A and B are shown apart, each in its own frame.
Chain A
Amino acid sequence: MKRRDFIKSTGTIVAASPFMNFGAGIKNNKKMLVLGFDGMDPMIAYDMIQRGELPNLKRLAQSGVFSMMRTTIPPQSPVAWGSFITGADPGKYGLFDFVHRDPETYFPITSGAETIPASLNIKIGKYKIPLKPGKIVPKREGKAFWDYLEEKDVEATIFKIPSNYPPSKSKQRTIAGMGTPDIHGTYGISTLYTSDEEEAMKDITPNNLFYAYLNEENVLEDGEILGPVNDLVENGEKTKVSFKVFVDKENKTARIDVDGKEILIAEKEYSDWVEIDFPLIKGVSSITGMVKFYMMDIEKSFRLYISPIHISPKTPAVEISTPPEYAEELAKKVGLFHTIGLPADTKALSQETFGVEEFLTQSNSVFDESKKLFGYEYEKFLNKKNGFLFFYFGSLDQGQHMLWALTDKDHPYYHPEEAKRFGYMKEELYRMHDRILGDVLNTMPKDMGLIVLSDHGFGTFRRKVNLNTFLFNEGYLKFGVNEIDTEISLFDDYSEYDWGNTKAYAVGLNGLYLNMKGRESQGIVTKGERRKLLEELQGKIQQIRDPENGRQVISEAFITEDHFSPDFLIRSPDIILGFNRGYRSSDSSALGGATREMVTNNMNWWAGDHCINPRHVPASFFSNFPINKKIPSIKDMAPTILNYFGINETPTMNGDSLI
């Protein structure tokens, strides 16, 4: 089948007819594996299959189905995996974007979890002891499909599925994935020590950057790793642990003395994980994190990268698994591993702390670690008579975000030299994932159900769009000034926002909100005005043209009440912006800000993306059994898995079983 025919034929390759009866008996089998390859694009996969470069995905397609799959509106990972987990549309589980907004303050907030601070403190000397400890509450609502399995005594292991931090209460073995923070509670703050004076002046916020002064004996004496804020003391300061680095320039090696440990490391080499205790109350209480050191350069200058401080799975500072000892079991059996939800350090490449080669070294180590963890879980799974295993791989997603410009000559951030050296890597990532599948196909029992899927596809991200600038230019968003000088930021220029005269504003990667009376603290739009305003905005937004080339910037604006169940619609944007191919929200717009220019070039290594119109980035679906829909939807996955195990009563779901 040709590429065009694949798309026209609704994007489905089905097995030859003898396989079509396979589904009839599959319900009697009680073992299923689902591999989640985040960001696997069906068109790239199709092209590579046609070229014979993904032989194992081809084998799987030939034994069952390969199809495009409908993703969620918007096609963002937390939203799409939320739909996978709950078998429903986003209205039923309340996740609509990486970034939501607080209707009280209009400020952007993370969507996946909420931190409730500790309270009822008592003071003992300089310490402040909370009687009621703080907690982190998951914001993903709905019932996870593994809870249904639990009710029917089907054992499940759910490995690093996004949108499950903190892990929802369960007796199943689950470990949190995307959304899991570092020890600071952020998405990951790394540290760079450099003796390059020019580099030391750079702004790499929110990461830490320090000038490295090496004494005459080539020793860095005053290194510090900044830990979490010590909330147990009044006006809590950041905890810190000191370290020293003894550099041997001749042999291009270094010794790092930290927290009672000596780490030997060569130039261009990563250390193993190093566990570090940050003291809270001396001798009584501490918090354990872990880092990797990367001795990037010794010869030309001294450059030492320290990874974000991960929660240690051996002694997790917060709950990252169910049961809590599951994380410890993994650490004991397989070794320490990345626990941050997005472990590839994309920020280090964006900020040019890493070059492409260094990014690949780091991100490939994450992939290798995932393979090792999968090997452990898969072997356990093979030895079981029945049960369910979901295993998540995130490297394809993170890699495509960062490597896209290497294969897109029309991208404003195309780098011809790097393209020559590393342009093969995007497709190599597909091949790496295909080889994992190959190991499974070669060892799995014939009667085991197998699904390989992604949450969304991928595309280029060439131009950044600021929706707040559009709303300001059109008079829907008001500031105290008549024109924007360079940028107005919610964080820095809050007083400039004239909420009392604002009708609509954008926050998040795809979200646009009306300033609703009774919902927003200073809302002015009445319920009676709502629908007319939504349709007016929808029409205008779809007409926005790129001033540089006249292209349509937003190919579809989705009025959410027309698409989502009402259960948690109160948290949802009123319109979700479906950007055209090549366009995406600017950083400023996503954080509620506005810039003078509405559309600008994306000059960043983060050059591939999927936070656009879901119709442009469908997900991929492969199975070793036939399905009953031409185009499945990601919300059909949970009902399908449950049906496979004979569970047909799924009242919380509105997806359909595909078998």
Chain B
Amino acid sequence: MAKKVKLSNESSQKADEILAFHGYSSLEELIGNLIDSEYEKIKSDDDKDEQAEKLSGLGYIS
């Protein structure tokens, strides 16, 4: 279900500038893109943690 988001005036003005600068067609598109990119970061951090866990199990690395 879609959610409504309340933005402060300052954030709203900044969002308008980003829309104009990057050529997003709508605020929804900008927010969707930001969520996607933040989500990717979390996922890649998970992968990194998994890799760190994997390597630190090697006796050579404590």
Could you tell me which A residues sit within 8 Å of B by CB distance?
A: 98-99, 107-110, 185-189, 205-206, 342, 346-347, 350-351, 398, 401, 491, 509, 587, 590-591, 604, 606, 609, 611
User: At the interface with chain A, which of B1-9, B11-19, B49-57?
Assistant: B49-57
Could you tell me which B residues sit within 8 Å of A by CB distance?
A: 48-49, 51-62
**In the complex, A36 Cα to B54 Cα: how many Å?**
26
* Contact A347 B55, beta carbon cutoff 8 Å: no
**In the complex, A347 Cα to B56 Cα: how many Å?**
9
* Contact A98 B49, beta carbon cutoff 8 Å: no
* Contact B62 A206, beta carbon cutoff 8 Å: no
* Contact B59 A205, beta carbon cutoff 8 Å: no
Q: A342-B58, A590-B60 are in contact. List 13 more A-B contacts (CB 8 A).
A: A98-B60, A99-B58, A110-B55, A206-B56, A346-B59, A347-B57, A398-B59, A491-B49, A491-B52, A587-B61, A587-B62, A591-B61, A611-B60
- Select one of B53, B60, B61, B62 contacting A186, CB under 8 A: B53
**In the complex, A351 Cα to B56 Cα: how many Å?**
12
User: Which chain A residues lie closer than 8 Å to B54 at the CB level?
Assistant: 110, 185-187, 206
**In the complex, A609 Cα to B60 Cα: how many Å?**
9
**In the complex, A606 Cα to B62 Cα: how many Å?**
9
* Contact B53 A606, beta carbon cutoff 8 Å: no
User: Which chain B residues lie closer than 8 Å to A186 at the CB level?
Assistant: 53-54, 57
* Interchain residue pairs with CB less than 8 A apart (5): A186-B53, A186-B57, A206-B53, A587-B61, A590-B61
Q: Which 6 A-B pairs have the closest CB atoms?
A: A187-B57, A346-B59, A206-B53, A186-B57, A587-B61, A491-B52
Of the listed residues A187, A188, A351, the one surrounded by the most CB atoms of chain B closer than 10 A to its CB is A187
* Contact B53 A205, beta carbon cutoff 8 Å: yes
Of the listed residues B56, B60, B62, the one surrounded by the most CB atoms of chain A closer than 10 A to its CB is B60
* Contact B58 A98, beta carbon cutoff 8 Å: yes
* Contact B60 A347, beta carbon cutoff 8 Å: no
**B56 nearest CB across to chain A (Å):** 5
Name which residue of chain B comes closest to A609, CB basis: B60
User: Which chain A residues lie closer than 8 Å to B62 at the CB level?
Assistant: 347, 350-351, 587, 604, 606
User: Which chain B residues lie closer than 8 Å to A187 at the CB level?
Assistant: 54, 57-59
**In the complex, A609 Cα to B58 Cα: how many Å?**
14
**A305 nearest CB across to chain B (Å):** 16
* Contact B55 A591, beta carbon cutoff 8 Å: yes
**In the complex, A98 Cα to B48 Cα: how many Å?**
17
Name which residue of chain B comes closest to A341, CB basis: B58
**In the complex, A464 Cα to B53 Cα: how many Å?**
21
User: Which chain A residues lie closer than 8 Å to B55 at the CB level?
Assistant: 99, 108, 110, 591
- Select one of B48, B59, B61 contacting A107, CB under 8 A: B48
**A345 nearest CB across to chain B (Å):** 9
* Contact B60 A509, beta carbon cutoff 8 Å: yes
User: Which chain A residues lie closer than 8 Å to B51 at the CB level?
Assistant: 107-109
**In the complex, A449 Cα to B51 Cα: how many Å?**
43
Name which residue of chain B comes closest to A207, CB basis: B57
* Contact B59 A347, beta carbon cutoff 8 Å: yes
**In the complex, A91 Cα to B51 Cα: how many Å?**
25
User: Which chain A residues lie closer than 8 Å to B53 at the CB level?
Assistant: 186, 189, 205-206
**In the complex, A342 Cα to B60 Cα: how many Å?**
11
User: Which chain B residues lie closer than 8 Å to A346 at the CB level?
Assistant: 59
* Contact B56 A205, beta carbon cutoff 8 Å: yes
User: Which chain B residues lie closer than 8 Å to A398 at the CB level?
Assistant: 59
User: Which chain B residues lie closer than 8 Å to A590 at the CB level?
Assistant: 60-61
**A307 nearest CB across to chain B (Å):** 13
User: Which chain A residues lie closer than 8 Å to B60 at the CB level?
Assistant: 98, 509, 590, 606, 609, 611
**In the complex, A5 Cα to B56 Cα: how many Å?**
42
- Select one of A108, A110, A606 contacting B59, CB under 8 A: A606
Name which residue of chain A comes closest to B57, CB basis: A187
**In the complex, A398 Cα to B58 Cα: how many Å?**
12
**In the complex, A351 Cα to B61 Cα: how many Å?**
12
User: Which chain A residues lie closer than 8 Å to B59 at the CB level?
Assistant: 187, 342, 346-347, 350, 398, 401, 606
**In the complex, A342 Cα to B61 Cα: how many Å?**
13
**B29 nearest CB across to chain A (Å):** 25
Of the listed residues B52, B54, B56, B57, the one surrounded by the most CB atoms of chain A closer than 10 A to its CB is B57
User: Which chain A residues lie closer than 8 Å to B56 at the CB level?
Assistant: 205-206, 587, 591
User: Which chain A residues lie closer than 8 Å to B61 at the CB level?
Assistant: 99, 587, 590-591
User: Which chain A residues lie closer than 8 Å to B52 at the CB level?
Assistant: 491, 591
**In the complex, A491 Cα to B49 Cα: how many Å?**
7
**In the complex, A350 Cα to B55 Cα: how many Å?**
15
**A70 nearest CB across to chain B (Å):** 22
**A95 nearest CB across to chain B (Å):** 15
Name which residue of chain B comes closest to A340, CB basis: B57
**In the complex, A48 Cα to B31 Cα: how many Å?**
71
**In the complex, A509 Cα to B62 Cα: how many Å?**
12
- Select one of A109, A189, A509, A591 contacting B57, CB under 8 A: A189
User: Which chain B residues lie closer than 8 Å to A611 at the CB level?
Assistant: 60
**In the complex, A98 Cα to B53 Cα: how many Å?**
15
**In the complex, A587 Cα to B58 Cα: how many Å?**
10
**In the complex, A110 Cα to B55 Cα: how many Å?**
7
**In the complex, A590 Cα to B57 Cα: how many Å?**
13
**In the complex, A587 Cα to B55 Cα: how many Å?**
10
Of the listed residues B51, B56, B58, the one surrounded by the most CB atoms of chain A closer than 10 A to its CB is B58
User: Which chain B residues lie closer than 8 Å to A206 at the CB level?
Assistant: 53-54, 56-57
**In the complex, A189 Cα to B59 Cα: how many Å?**
11
**A165 nearest CB across to chain B (Å):** 14
**B13 nearest CB across to chain A (Å):** 27
**B31 nearest CB across to chain A (Å):** 22
User: Which chain B residues lie closer than 8 Å to A509 at the CB level?
Assistant: 60
**In the complex, A176 Cα to B21 Cα: how many Å?**
56
**In the complex, A43 Cα to B1 Cα: how many Å?**
72
